[in-house]
């Protein structure tokens, strides 16, 4: 199943570089950059999206940049709670909502049970394995992003493309439903 939305707003500066050479290579570079970010760079990253970098916002963004596996609010909260005992689930939820509003994080609706969050804001599709539930990145060329041909009265704000199937690892295992 494929869902199309359209995003006219410009992405993070780095995203533009992604399109200059084959996207797959730059996806790796993009992930590497995230993994090597210092706290100061995370603050700059938040500020580049016009987000005031409070302690909790920086901690949540750092988590998002270090966990590119599309975590849920529950996962983020559970993982951060031991290091930030004052954290509440509402704060995690509201912070992610702010990040999404400012386009620093994408909300992914590929999972029917939970909204998932993705700090990788360059255009890419997602593939969900229907057996193990793993969500994989699918690189997209800019030319592969569909143009919105709906009524001018409709003002789309996002594009998301989802693929569903089975990963090779699961295909080779005896069939088990989840």
The size of the interface with Zn ion (CB under 5 A), counted in residues, is 8
**Placement of tokens 């950059």 in the chain:** 33
Map residues 53-92 to x or -, x wherever contact with Zn ion holds by CB under 5 A: ----------------------------------------
Nearer to Zn ion, 102 or 130 (CB): 130
Map residues 137-176 to x or -, x wherever contact with Zn ion holds by CB under 5 A: x-----------------------------x--x------
CA dihedral 94→99→100→105, nearest 10 degrees, is -130
Q: Judged by CB under 5 A, does residue 132 bind Zn ion?
A: yes
The helix-helix angle for 73-80 and 89-101 (nearest 10°) equals 120
Binding residue for Zn ion (CB under 5 A) from 45, 46, 118, 119? 118
CB of 143 to Zn ion, least distance (A): 19
Distance of CA 7 to the CA centre of its chain: 14
DSSP character string of 111-168: SSS--EEES--SSEEEEEETTT--EEEEE--GGGSPPP-S-TT--------EEEE--H
Where on the chain is the footprint of Zn ion (CB under 5 A)? 118, 120, 129, 131-132, 137, 167, 170
């Amino acid at each position: 199943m494929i869902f199309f939305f359209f995003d006219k707003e410009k992405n993070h500066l780095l995203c533009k570089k992604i399109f200059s050479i084959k996207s797959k290579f730059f996806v790796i570079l993009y992930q590497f950059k995230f993994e090597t970010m210092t706290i100061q760079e995370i603050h700059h990253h938040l500020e580049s999206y016009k987000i005031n970098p409070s302690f909790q916002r920086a901690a949540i963004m750092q988590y998002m940049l270090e966990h590119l596996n599309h975590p849920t609010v529950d996962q983020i909260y559970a993982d951060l709670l031991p290091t930030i005992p004052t954290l509440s689930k509402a704060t995690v939820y509201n912070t992610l909502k702010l990040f999404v509003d400012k386009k620093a994080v994408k909300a992914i609706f590929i999972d029917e049970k939970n909204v998932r969050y993705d700090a990788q804001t360059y255009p890419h599709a997602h593939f969900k394995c229907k057996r193990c539930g793993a969500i994989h990145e699918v690189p997209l060329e800019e030319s592969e992003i569909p143009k919105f041909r709906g009524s001018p009265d409709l003002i789309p704000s996002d594009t998301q493309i989802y693929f569903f199937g089975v990963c090779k690892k699961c295909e080779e295992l005896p069939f088990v439903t989840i």
